[in-house]
Amino acid sequence: MLVARRHGTPSTLVVHPRVHPVAPVPAGRARDMDGATSLAAPLGGVAFHSLREYVPGDDLRLIHWRSSARTGQLMVRHNVVPNEPRLLVVLDGSAGSYSAAAGSFEEAVRVAASWAVAAVGAGFPLRLVTTAGQGVAADRGSGAAAVLDLLAAVSAEEGAPGLEAVTALVPDQDGVSLGVVTGQPDPRVFDAVGAVRNRFDMVSVVQVGELYDRPPAGVPGAYVVNCRTSADFARVWNREVAPAH
């Protein structure tokens, strides 16, 4: 007779991809404490957005006395955090872009993870999407854990869209820079990246799985790195990009 007993409760162990210390995707613009603002921006910054009526709990130091005298009611300065450069990282999720023997998709995941951690560490709002339709955001103070959780579970899918899916990307605001991570797809698909170049402040592309030291794909107006592994990417990226940060 077979007797089975369960002890405790099952747990799920999520193994995050390896992360290399790298500079974030170039944002194309410097932080500007007096930069553009919006009503959706977080409160509590130093950038003036507008005047509004006082509500209980407002800092009395923000009362705008001249406007209050003119309108007959207390008016306060509505200060927000100015709009910041935002980063969009796209991971090519098409199995056809990678070599299974070389493990290049795993290397691409490590590049995307390294970019994500670097962006969050630098305080840049980030969204990561895959061409297979997955996506997650890491905003101010939220950390990169959700992004790394997603990357721990992704896989290259047969039949999934490749870089051609990039043409559907339209940033929801100004000041977004694009980072694309892929393998060694047909060079013609990089035309899709070139087609959206003008929608973003800056565009960077990383190709992994290069075995023959060939030059990177030509994408007008974009910075492209073609390398064998994520460690090679980190060395090249930090040598070429980090000094500009």
Residue 172 has pLDDT above 60, yes or no: yes
Query: Which of 203, 213, 232 minimizes the C-alpha distance to 107?
Result: 232
Domain final residue, candidates 26, 53, 80: 80
Question: 11 lies in a domain?
Answer: no
Same-domain check for residues 183 and 104? yes
Q: Looking at the structure, do residues 50 and 156 belong to the same domain, yes or no?
A: no
Task: Give the model confidence (pLDDT) of 27-60 as tens digits.
Answer: 655 444 444 444 444 444 445 557 788 888 888 8
Domain count, the chain: 2
Q: What is the pLDDT of residues 112-165, one digit of tens each?
A: 999 999 999 888 889 999 999 999 998 766 789 999 999 999 999 999 999 999
Beta strand 176-182 with 86-91 is parallel
Which two tokens mark 59?
Answer: 């800092």
Q: Domain range spanning residue 48?
A: 43-80
Helix 145-153 / helix 104-121 crossing angle, nearest 10 deg: 170
pTM equals 0.77
Q: What is the CATH number of the domain that holds 167?
A: 3.40.50.410
Shared domain for 214 and 133, answered yes or no, is yes
**What is the pLDDT, as a whole number, of residue 245?**
58
The secondary structure of 82-151 as a DSSP string is: PP--EEEEEE--BGGGS-TTTTHHHHHHHHHHHHHHHHHHTT--EEEEETTS-EEEE-TTT-SHHHHHHH
